[in-house]
Structure 1
Amino acid sequence: MKITCITILWSLAMVLLSDESQASKTEVRCNFTEKNYSFIPMDIHKDVTILDLSYNQITLNVRNIRTLQMYVLLTELYLIENNIFILHNNSFSNLSNLEILNICRNSIYVIQQGAFIGLNKLQQLHLCQNKIVQLDPDIFVPLQNLILLNLQGNLIRSFDVPQLFHLELIILHGNPWNCSCRLFNLQNWLNSSNVTLENEDITMCSNPDILKSYSIKTVPYKTECHSKFSSINEDLDVYFKSISNSTFNYSLNNITINSEHESFGKSWAFLVGVAVTVLMTSLLIFISIKCPVWYNFLLSYNHHRLEEHEPETSEDGFTGNSSPLSEIPETNSEETTVIFEQLHSFMVDDDGFIEDKYIDTHELHEEN
């Protein structure tokens, strides 16, 4: 009997020792806090399971993401208080064993759709004290085993129901919740599911003012909020009621003044254009009336070059053939005189001779 008891105790001791040794072998901790690192070190032990890179200057850029993919055995990753602004797609895609991810106290304002792809075993996600304004619930789809979601201390005003089937605890306080009809689905999910809202008493509505004393889980909603179509109108109505009258009037005055300035600026440009067009047209008309030099200049080119079959002009300026006036049938001498005088009035005659620029004077001198 004594031998049997001793054997049993020995076997139990060996099992406990084997479990402890196995745990010591699988758990490898690396602490790089407050090292002022901008990049994740590449010389970390490949078997690391718990990696703490908090209080550094890491940004999770492309280089850091590639380095992070090397540590496939990670079960816990801490990136508290770094310089992370964006969670890019596939940032943790190779960390299929990760169970705890803590990225609190950064400046995250964008989480891309596929940021959490590959985190099939993740149980705790901490995104507290960032600058998140809006979250697409579809980003949580890959997190099928998530138990705890921490969104405390962000800038979230509304939040659609996430697709988290195993979630047990959610932290939402410290956000400026707008308790309009858009938040009705979230409240209904919090009350009907098994999830627990931590710090429910301090997870309060920020607006409208009449609901600031209510928790987002207990705020009373009107029956209109149950309708999908009326929820939009209710949301807009609550939003405008939350704005003070002075702020609204000030904005309205600014809009009116800006519109008046804009219309005045456009009309001024139009009037200037019309005035310039009228002045230019008037100036051209005045020049054409008061300065007829251009008309006389054009008249001097009314003649044409003599054709080869036409007879040469004589020295007295008249052709051998009869004048064109003589070709006019049935014209008397008086009519011919009037026509000649009218033609002569348009000619500029200083010395009694008509100068034809097309006649070569050198040839005339040789002929003479």
Structure 2
Amino acid sequence: MKTTCIPILFWPFFMLLLSDESKTSKTEVKCNFTEKNYSFIPEDINKNVTILDLSYNQITLNTMDTSVLQIYYLLTELYLIENNVVILHNNSFGNLSNLKILNICRNSIYVIQQGAFIGLNKLKQLYLCQNKIVQLNPNIFVPLKNLKLLNLQDNMMSYIDRPPLFHLELIILDGNPWNCSCTLLNLQNWLNTSNVTLENENITTCSYPDILKCYSIKTVPYNTDCYSTFPLPVMADLYINFQSISNSTFNSSLKNLTNSEHEPPGKSWTFLVGVVVTVLMTSLLIFIAIKCPIWYNFLLSYNHHRLEEHEEETYEDDFIENPSALSQIPDPISEDTTVTFEQLNSFAVDDDGFIEDKYIDTHELCEEN
């Protein structure tokens, strides 16, 4: 009797669950806008849409498109196949908390910002195939707590670290130029130890080095140097830091290219102007020093000194022995260039034939007389 009463008691709850499922199936709204040549996501779509297909258009998924997407918060599937998406900006799908399938294949995506997938807590399938992704920081997948399928087929990646996806069941990585060096060892260990299935494993092979081209990234043999020289945790941390720095640098350079017309000149221009001003000022000082040698004449005036006693006697003897020295003195041409014998020497010849030394004390002469 008790066993028969239990199903009767829970029967209303089962009926409510069935009615809810029927309501959700009945309220499923599909909107197909493929090949409409749209450049923007239209705003006049039914607000209750759950499956939206905007494939084969010209949508770039810019800030205006992301703001329009916030209106359709009931979306469970979104298809943007073969559009003109280049960058996945932060919070591009922030209000789509019910989204389960997101397909952005066959675009030109090469930059995925750190918070591009914030808000997609229920997302189960993510398709990023056939894009131009070169570097991918695995931390962008952190908000995807329930992701089960990740498709990164046919991109331009040579390395990817193990993504922090604990519920992932299937990953597709073929069509990328994988570099099977020691840096890929961490990914290989994750593929071999986790429950993740690598689809198309036989064709997911190494592109270089040449000696490993025939190996799958899951079975490529690594030598002992990869384990001994670079321990796995240290190697992974170093490469993650390198990836984050390079990704941020790449994003900032891309931002500078796109917004170069609106940004003020940076510090490099200030440094360049300072160098140019310094060079000009130095050249001007050198020019003034060469063309205006007043300072040279000023210093030259301090080179004269009085003749000492023994210098006077030797100079006097030389002058008496070589009277022709006066003939070697050039003729006066102008008052400015005339140099007299009296200006060159500190003594002069008197009429009495004696040399008057103005440094001899007159009192001593009187005493001698």
1:90-109 alignment, distance < 5 Å: 90-109=91-110
User: Secondary structure of the residue that 1:225 maps to in structure 2?
Assistant: helix
Contact 1:224 1:230 in 2 (8 A): no
Q: Residue 329 of structure 1: CA displacement?
A: 11
Computing the radius of gyration from Cα coordinates, the structure with the larger value is: 1
Moved over 4 A (4+): 14-21, 295-300, 328-331
CA distance in 1, matches of 2:33, 2:91: 23
1:301-320 alignment, distance < 5 Å: none
Q: Per-residue CA shift, 1:172-217, capped at 9, x if unaligned? A: 0011111111111101000000000011111111111111111111
CA distance in 1, matches of 2:51, 2:220: 41
Rate the CA distance shift 1:142–1:213 in 2: closer, same or farther, 3 A: same
Matched, 1:39 2:40: yes
Q: Residue 229 of structure 1: CA displacement?
A: 2.4
CA distance in 1, matches of 2:198, 2:69: 32
Q: Equivalent residue for 2:178?
A: 177
Matched, 1:332 2:345: no
1:138-177 alignment, distance < 5 Å: 138-177=139-178
Q: Residue 226 of structure 1: CA displacement?
A: 1.8
Q: Residue 332 of structure 1: CA displacement?
A: 3.0
Q: Per-residue CA shift, 1:313-366, capped at 9, x if unaligned? A: xxxxxxxxxxxxxxx99963488xxxxxxxxxxxxxxxxxxxxxxxxxxxxxxx
Matched, 1:58 2:76: no
CA distance in 2, matches of 1:156, 1:18: 47
CA distance in 2, matches of 1:115, 1:297: 90
Name structure 1 gaps, 5 residues minimum.
1-7, 233-280, 282-294, 303-327, 336-368
Name structure 2 gaps, 5 residues minimum.
1-7, 236-289, 291-332, 340-345, 354-369
Q: Equivalent residue for 1:112?
A: 113
Counterpart of 2:206 in structure 1: which amino acid? Answer: C
Q: Equivalent residue for 1:209?
A: 210
Q: Equivalent residue for 2:187?
A: 186
CA distance in 1, matches of 2:91, 2:112: 11
Rate the CA distance shift 1:16–1:120 in 2: closer, same or farther, 3 A: closer
Rate the CA distance shift 1:333–1:38 in 2: closer, same or farther, 3 A: same
Q: Residue 39 of structure 1: CA displacement?
A: 0.3
Rate the CA distance shift 1:334–1:84 in 2: closer, same or farther, 3 A: farther
Rate the CA distance shift 1:334–1:161 in 2: closer, same or farther, 3 A: farther
Q: Equivalent residue for 1:130?
A: 131
User: Secondary structure of the residue that 1:170 maps to in structure 2?
Assistant: strand
User: Secondary structure of the residue that 2:230 maps to in structure 1?
Assistant: helix
Q: Equivalent residue for 2:75?
A: 74
Q: Per-residue CA shift, 1:96-132, capped at 9, x if unaligned? A: 1111100000000010111111111110000000000
1:174-323 alignment, distance < 5 Å: 174-227=175-228, 229=230, 296=334, 298=336
Q: Per-residue CA shift, 1:73-100, capped at 9, x if unaligned? A: 1111000000011111111111111111
Q: Residue 19 of structure 1: CA displacement?
A: 6.0
User: Secondary structure of the residue that 1:229 maps to in structure 2?
Assistant: coil
Contact 1:103 1:128 in 2 (8 A): yes
Rate the CA distance shift 1:329–1:128 in 2: closer, same or farther, 3 A: closer
CA distance in 1, matches of 2:351, 2:164: 114
Q: Per-residue CA shift, 1:262-320, capped at 9, x if unaligned? A: xxxxxxxxxxxxxxxxxxx9xxxxxxxxxxxxx948569x9xxxxxxxxxxxxxxxxxx
Counterpart of 2:350 in structure 1: which amino acid? Answer: N
Contact 1:100 1:122 in 2 (8 A): yes
1:20-35 alignment, distance < 5 Å: 21-35=22-36
Q: Percent identity?
A: 73
Rate the CA distance shift 1:296–1:74 in 2: closer, same or farther, 3 A: farther
Counterpart of 2:84 in structure 1: which amino acid? Answer: N
CA distance in 2, matches of 1:73, 1:205: 42
Q: Residue 18 of structure 1: CA displacement?
A: 4.4
User: Secondary structure of the residue that 1:186 maps to in structure 2?
Assistant: helix
Counterpart of 2:77 in structure 1: which amino acid? Answer: E
Rate the CA distance shift 1:116–1:334 in 2: closer, same or farther, 3 A: farther
